[in-house]
Structure 1
């Protein structure tokens, strides 16, 4: 493995030879007296980070230079815990933004400062699994670093896990999605004249579908034509749900510029029918 760039004595950019094999290596003294083109012993690297479009090498190096090593180590443990609890989409790309947030949260806690998160209610309702992991992360931080973060910090920690699904550079997109999911639930209730229970299993499944829909849109994909044979029958038997799905699609197009195809709309209608099956008229 050869050095491409030396950021500082402890962080270098290296490659095995191809453009797709570039990694950021972090290790004590790994960049000392090293020049681009020289061989580097990967065994000396304590940590390896793979750059992405949203986390280029320079951004990774900057964060690694500013984040205390013990904060980074705890963030890595939290990500491992999140992956075990939530799934493989909680990848290594979560470590640095999570560590950055954690480092600032620890400073605020030590200074006695607390931030109010306006989306607290929405996050608690929409992402209960991620919030549960966020709460366990707070306990892990207390055990490892001796600082008890405010309970409210479970909210932004949860959003980092949600954001992992989209691999965004920050939480702005997932915050907008969270606000939109709340609007969609309210609009669905109003359109169908039903009181949708945001805490119900059906609502949870509906939000999960919206999350995967958002993920597909972000990656340029679309739902497979699973229900091709059901198009006509679904329109006939669930005309109200199909109309509601088209209304939801218009909200998503207005807010994000998405254009949902026929399959996506019908798939959405199917989830709406499940959502409304056990709800009562408002």
Structure 2
């Protein structure tokens, strides 16, 4: 079917209408020196966007007119790579959220404004695949734009990608859970009077366990049972670590109004006890 341009957004993006449905078509030079009603060169078509959410579609359309084209191109490469590596289709909102975030971050770096990410260590552990994609994006941005993004920004890219996977909530929800886990790790540090080695296997196992425990609590899923005799042994043998687990549950209740069941505290205690042993070894 012959496609004619309804609106030129930039040199590489145009709006067309096909069978009464508006679409955004992207491709290198597809809008260069083009005007309304001119036909689209089909050989230049690289991507076609049809968003179910009309509000997001309009936001994306407006963004394509204001964000530097090279930023848009890089963001789309990252999204396509992420979908391939994760073998999943990302939520449509990623095209707006990541592009807008990335463009703002690049502008800040070009003005020598520092980017910091206090959740970086937790992100590396909790969203390992997404963080690896972020590292790939770091190389791409350097290659395409000659901008060196810090690992802190890699962490933010990972969060956006994770949030865009199906049923992963909003980026604010993801950051809230990650921030709570960071606070819980600090509680362990204070309880044991230790500075946990964030490269250690014990740290990674604790953080991962807390992530899934919080997810079960949020989703209303049942926690794993623990034999009463086993739980009593844990409470009696690892008094300091169990008290620390109780402090974590107390913090959780203050923050969310929910708390971990005692069985779950038993499992958390075992992870904390491993860190407790590490400090004396």
TM bucket (normalised to shorter chain) is 0.5 to 0.7
SS of corresponding position for 2:199:
coil
TM-score (normalizing by structure 2): 0.65
Q: 1:267: Cα distance to partner?
A: 3.9
Cα separation, partners in 2 of 1:44 and 1:173, compared to 1, 3 Å: closer
Q: 1:187: Cα distance to partner?
A: 1.4
Cα separation, partners in 2 of 1:175 and 1:84, compared to 1, 3 Å: same
SS of corresponding position for 2:227:
helix
Q: Deviations over 1:238-269 (max 9, x none)?
A: 11344432321221221233333345434433
Distance 1:141 1:252 in 2: 39
Q: Aligned runs of 1:146-157 on 2, under 5 Å? A: 146-151=145-150, 152-157=152-157
Q: Deviations over 1:46-66 (max 9, x none)?
A: 134455xxxxx4134313421
- For the pair 1:103 / 2:82, whether they are aligned, the reply is no
Cα separation, partners in 2 of 1:108 and 1:168, compared to 1, 3 Å: same
Do the aligned residues in 1 keep the contact of 2:198 with 2:204 (CA within 8 Å)?
yes
Whichever of the two has the greater Rg, that structure is 2
TM-score (normalizing by structure 1): 0.65
Q: 1:181: Cα distance to partner?
A: 2.4
What do you get for the CA RMSD once the two structures are aligned? 4.1
SS of corresponding position for 1:26:
strand
- For the pair 1:112 / 2:117, whether they are aligned, the reply is no
Q: 1:199: Cα distance to partner?
A: 1.8
Q: Which residue of the partner structure matches residue 48 of structure 2? A: 46
Unmatched runs of 5 consecutive residues or more in structure 2: 1-5, 31-35, 38-44
Do the aligned residues in 2 keep the contact of 1:49 with 1:92 (CA within 8 Å)?
no
**Paired positions, count:** 243
Q: Deviations over 1:63-83 (max 9, x none)?
A: 342145654443233234445
Do the aligned residues in 1 keep the contact of 2:50 with 2:57 (CA within 8 Å)?
no
Deviates more, 1:194-203 or 1:62-71: 62-71
Q: 1:114: Cα distance to partner?
A: 2.2
